[in-house]
């Protein structure tokens, strides 16, 4: 019998992660709860993604689970209270994807405000000789509100400030180390800003926090950018606001029910849509994959985690 610890892999593994994991662990791809029963007592660790998390029925089925290594920063789909109760370690790939996610927020903001995607379509359709594309919106001197001011929110603030944009933020608490204005009222922030960028954590506390009231406060000249979680936005309210032009536009990297997103988004010209790609660069995804493995190796070497959540 192998002495390698048994690991359940919930998400498909990229080659670099699979190759490294196989050297130190015995891997068991998750297929179903029924099949899991046969190996459940042996499983000591899990690899998963932030979007998949660890469903409660899987955690409950693993009596000897010791550690969960997440390929991402989201833990909203992991029962952390239960993990604490059972003394299960949880680690994420925090601090590896901050810059790329912040870059995507800025890219979406620029793309939707300057009409980059619609202008690309305009040129490719051969319309330039006979028509004039609509004007975009300037970024300079616009006001940016950032909801969620952790590492990613602060990295976004640094970037947009370089464009001469004014920044304020909403967060669960003020960040005294930042020179940006703290606004404890999200609706007040939405009323003040021209662009509202979402960088909050997912989970019940932030579910549907961007509702019709917030969108109406953002107003007909306001833009929404979401690189957080699809659950943060009331999508029915957002679609209505976009269709009725009660906001100017939206740049969206995340959605509810992704990848099977609401098809109503597909026909909206005032949107720029991405397939949850904020951290999707060769450099960052490689670093994330390696950190997932490094956390497991560290845990099974001396019971420590390099980037623990709990």
Question: Do 6-96+283-302 and 98-273 have matching folds?
Answer: yes
Q: Domain 6-96+283-302's class?
A: alpha beta
Instruction: State the catalytic residues.
Output: 229, 258, 276
Q: What is the pLDDT of residue 3?
A: 86
Domain-wise residue ranges, the chain: 6-96+283-302, 98-273
The string of pLDDT tens digits covering residues 47-74 is 999 989 999 999 999 999 999 999 999 9
Model confidence band, residue 2 (pLDDT cutoffs 50, 70, 90): low
Q: Would you state the CATH architecture of domain 98-273?
A: 3-Layer(aba) Sandwich (3.40)
Confidence tier at 41 by pLDDT (50, 70, 90) = very high
The span from the first CA to the last CA of the chain, in angstroms, equals: 31
Contact 7, 47 (CB under 8 A): yes
Residue 1 confidence (pLDDT): 43
Average pLDDT over residues 236-243: 98
In this model, does residue 29 exceed pLDDT 60? Answer: yes
Is the pTM higher than 0.75? The answer reads yes
Contact by Cβ (8 Å): 271, 242: yes
């Amino acid at each position: 019998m192998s002495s390698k610890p048994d690991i359940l892999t919930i998400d498909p593994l990229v080659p670099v992660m699979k190759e490294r994991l196989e050297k130190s662990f015995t891997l068991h791809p998750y297929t179903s709860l029924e099949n899991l029963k046969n190996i459940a007592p042996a499983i000591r660790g899990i690899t998963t993604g932030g979007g998949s998390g660890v469903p409660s029925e899987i955690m409950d089925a693993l009596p000897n689970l010791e550690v969960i290594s997440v390929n991402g920063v989201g833990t909203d789909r992991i029962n952390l209270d239960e993990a604490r109760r059972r003394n299960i370690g949880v680690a994420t790939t925090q601090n590896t994807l901050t810059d790329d996610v912040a870059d995507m927020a800025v890219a979406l903001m620029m793309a939707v405000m300057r009409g980059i995607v619609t202008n690309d379509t305009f040129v490719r359709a051969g319309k330039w000789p006979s028509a004039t594309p609509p004007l975009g919106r300037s970024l300079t001197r616009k006001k940016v509100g950032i909801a969620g001011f952790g590492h990613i929110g602060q990295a976004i603030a640094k970037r947009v400030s370089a464009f001469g944009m004014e920044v304020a933020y909403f967060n669960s608490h003020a960040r005294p180390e930042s020179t940006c204005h703290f606004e404890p009222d999200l609706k007040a922030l939405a009323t003040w800003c021209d662009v509202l960028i979402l960088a909050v954590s997912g989970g019940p506390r932030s579910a549907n926090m961007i509702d019709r009231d917030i969108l109406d406060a953002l107003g007909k000249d306001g833009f929404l950018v979401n690189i957080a979680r699809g659950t943060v936005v009331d999508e029915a309210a957002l679609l209505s606001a976009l269709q009725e032009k009660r906001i100017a536009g939206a740049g969206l990297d995340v959605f509810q029910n992704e990848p099977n997103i609401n098809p109503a988004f597909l026909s909206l010209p005032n949107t720029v849509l991405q397939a949850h790609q904020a951290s999707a660069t060769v450099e960052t995804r490689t670093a994330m994959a390696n950190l997932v493995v490094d956390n497991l190796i560290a845990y099974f070497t001396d019971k420590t985690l390099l980037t623990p959540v709990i």
